[in-house]
Structure 1
Amino acid sequence: MFPIRDHNPSGRTPYVTYALIVVNVVVFLATLGIEQNSRALMQFYFDWAIIPARVEAGEGFYTLITSMFLHAGFMHIAGNMLFLWIFGDNLEDIMGHVGFLIFYLLAGTGAGLVHVMMSPASLVPTVGASGAIAAVMGGYLLLFPKAKIDILVIFIIFFKIFTIPAWIMLAIWFAIQFFGGLAADPDAGGVAYWAHAGGFVLGAILALPVFLRRGGPAFWNRTHGLPPHPAAHYDPSRIPTVRRSVRRRR
């Protein structure tokens, strides 16, 4: 299940969102060269990625920031930047450029700390903007729960685009992270589920002052959980269903 766009246009140009995407992509491209050298790659991760045991020992706190701009592969950065592109502009619109940047960095740092607390002995380097982007999604859920999201559902050979309220898609995503964290080995490699779940909760908490300044529940009553300005309307997207061909006997 992949979100491909929302129906929630922003009222201002999201310069910070664009800048974050550019910085992440530039850093990713700049580090491609060291992937062929395993020794250099491990040293690079030791210097700049979150290693929970190192942070727990009181070292490398700066990696809580630097790790947010590192990614371990094309699909990793592509997925993160897609989510940031879809959800980031609306939070920047309502928080302002500076406010959104502070929100993003603070929440991403907090998500990294949650990861450290849940796996304090782990020596596995952790990279990615996922914790900060999870926070963006948590803030989005609080402020625009009924904004429409177009999602692409892939089930074996069937492809279909559905339009659903944001709260359904975001609630399912959070549940996957939460239960994935419960099931995963905290000291093993793989997905940093607790960074995602922690970032999501932190994002909702950090967006709470903005929500209250807008009137709290009165903001929801005015907007009915929808974007506070006219939603975008798109022509229905259709991806043809691909069915497995069947050879008939004659």
Structure 2
Amino acid sequence: MRRTPWVTYALIAANVLVFLATPGVAGSVAGESSLSQLCHLQAFLEHYAAVPRELIHHQMPRVVPTGGIGVGTHGPGCIVAPPGYDKSPELSVFTAMFVHGSWLHLLGNMLFLWIFGNNIEDRMGHVRFFLFYVVCGYAAGYGFALLNADSSDPLIGASGAIAGVLGAYLVLYPRARVWVLVPFLIFLPLRLPAWIVLGFWFVLQAVYSSGQGVSQAGTVAYAAHVIGFLAGMLLALPLRPGTTPPPEPRGLIFGRRARPGWSGW
């Protein structure tokens, strides 16, 4: 690696800081939250998450959670009122890229970004990599919204943008060998070409996006992963000529030998 991946580091740091500032999520490791925390979280998501109906139809809600608790005919619940802010649906796609719903959601995304982002940033350069990341995130967000135009469920997470990074890695470094844990009675570490690992990941996302093979496909925006991945592949194609394989690494990080500043999987 020739460049220090400052943008990758900055994106990881920004995601972690936003997560720590997200009400009712970071402090709940077990996934259990009080009603007050849930109400504050709903208000936060309504403000900063991307909502397909808002993106496609610009149908902004008349009332939103305020974060407060009230008592109605059905017992305690979250208070709703007209929003006290102006929300830009277009900007919400950007802010949603930094919002995560759980520690598992955050750590999974950041691990993929840490592993694959440094090589793509090295190939593209800092500014182009940041623009590439944002464009993939927007492609994933709007693509998912087009497929679910009437949905009012909030769309959050960096998965779409990071899927673009994976797609670019598949195009630029298909033969780079990475370590994976394959479940076969026990987890067996195998070093496989990136095209097998990422190709298998993409097929799984495509299958899951169709509702096959997973019981709760509605809770994860698998279609956004697919669209982000394809966007990353297309944007990386012009850079493929002249791209050399990453140097053989030294040292051991996440099961792959790496030089200082490298990470592997």
TM-score normalised to the size of structure 2?
A: 0.75
Task: Find the partner of 2:136 among 102, 107, 114.
Answer: 107
Alignment correspondent of 1:243: none
Identity percentage of aligned residues: 44
Q: How does 1:176-215 map to 2 (within 5 A)?
A: 176-183=204-211, 189-212=218-241, 214=242
TM-score, reference length from structure 1: 0.79
* 1:61 paired residue number: 90
State the 1:233 CA deviation.
4.5
1:1-250 residue pairs with structure 2 within 5 A? 10-33=1-24, 36=34, 37-58=37-58, 60-155=89-184, 158-183=186-211, 189-212=218-241, 214=242, 219=243, 223=244, 226-227=245-246, 230-233=247-250
Q: Which runs of 5+ in 1 are unaligned?
A: 1-9, 238-250
**Displacement of 1:173 after TM fit?**
0.5
CA displacement at 1:61 relative to structure 2: 1.7
| Cα distance between partner residues in 2 of 1:109 and 1:235 | 35
Distance in 2, Cα, partners of 1:195 & 1:32: 25
Q: What's the CA shift string for 1:45-67, capped at 9, x where partnerless? A: 11111111121112612111111
List structure 1 runs of 4+ shifted beyond 6 angstroms: none
**Bigger RCO (CA 8 Å, 6+ sep):** 1
Contact 1:180 1:193 in 2 (8 A): yes
CA distance in 2, matches of 1:38, 1:102: 34
Equivalent AA in structure 2 for residue 180 of structure 1: Y
Q: Deviations over 1:42-98 (max 9, x none)?
A: 121111111111211126121111110000100000000000000000010010000
Structure 1 Cα separation of the partners of residues 232 and 103 of structure 2: 26
Residue identity matched to 1:200:
F
Question: CA 1:51/1:165 → structure 2, altered by over 3 Å: closer, same or farther?
Answer: same
How far is the alpha carbon of 1:128 from its aligned partner? 0.5
Equivalent in the alignment of 2:263 = none
Structure 1 pair 96–158 and aligned structure 2 pair: CA distance change class (3 A) = same
Distance between the aligned counterparts of 1:14 and 1:235, measured in 2?
A: 19
Instruction: Classify the secondary structure of the residue corresponding to 2:181.
Output: strand
Amino acid at match of 1:31: T
- Residues 32 and 149 of structure 1, relative CA distance in 2, 3 Å threshold: farther
* 1:240 alignment partner in structure 2: none
More helix by proportion, 1 or 2?
Answer: 1
Deviation for aligned residue 1:183: 1.9
Alpha-carbon contact 1:124-1:189 (below 8 Å) kept: no
Question: Per-residue displacement from partner, 1:159-193 (whole Å, max 9, x unpaired)?
Answer: 221100000000000001111111269xx731101
1:65 aligns to what SS in structure 2? helix
Gaps of 5+ in 2: 26-32, 61-88, 256-265
* Conserved? CA contact 2:24–2:41, under 8 Å: no
Bigger strand share: 2
CA distance in 1, matches of 2:252, 2:44: 46
Contact 1:56 1:116 in 2 (8 A): yes
**For the residues of structure 2 that align with 1:232 and 1:138, how far apart are their CA atoms?**
22
Return the alpha-carbon distance in structure 1 between the equivalents of residues 251 and 99 of structure 2: 34
Does structure 2 conserve the Cα–Cα contact (< 8 Å) formed by 1:134 and 1:196? yes
Q: Give the root-mean-square deviation of aligned CA atoms.
A: 2.3
